[in-house]
Amino acid sequence: MRIGKALTLTAVLLTPANLGYAYNVQDLLGKCDAALDDEINLDAVFCMGVVEGVTTIARHNCESKLHGWNPYHRFTSEADATNGAIMQTFVNWARANPSQWDIPAAVGMAVALSKAFPCTNE
């Protein structure tokens, strides 16, 4: 009986940590699809968080070129669009590139952004 309770408690405690997890592009694609369908749930919130985080870093990297830095080009972007437009950009890129579904989710988001909104700072 104690083992059963311990296993149940362990499962309950570990479940929330996995709900928002998106390891690769394919995982994030599903989460962003939910967000674009106006479903407000943990998947949608997770996608919005990845969009905000990657977009912020990509913009800063692009701006850093004006100060003499030379960031890797795939992690730069001048994305000046709504989160919804950026999510749609990622979804479109992911659907068009199924061979990239196994790469890390944030890397896929960065690649999609850099292609759609390239950094023009020199």
pLDDT of residue 40: 75
Instruction: Please tell me which residue, 62 or 7, carries the higher pLDDT value.
Output: 62
pLDDT over 50 (residue 13):
no
* pLDDT-derived band at 17, boundaries 50, 70, 90: very low
DSSP string, 47-97: HHHHHHHHHHHHHHHHHHGGGT----GGG-----S-HHHHHHHHHHHHHH-
CB 89 within 8 A of CB 112: yes
Q: Which two tokens stand for residue 1?
A: 């009986």
Answer for the pair 55, 107: CB distance below 8 angstroms, yes or no: no
Instruction: Output the pTM of the full model.
Output: 0.75
Reported as a pLDDT band with limits 50, 70 and 90, residue 24 is very high
Predicted pLDDT of residue 74: 66
pLDDT, one tens digit per residue, over 105-118 is 999 999 999 899 88
pLDDT digits (tens, 9 = 90+) for 35-92: 887 767 888 888 888 989 998 888 888 888 788 887 766 677 887 888 889 999 999 9
Q: What is the pLDDT of residue 90?
A: 95
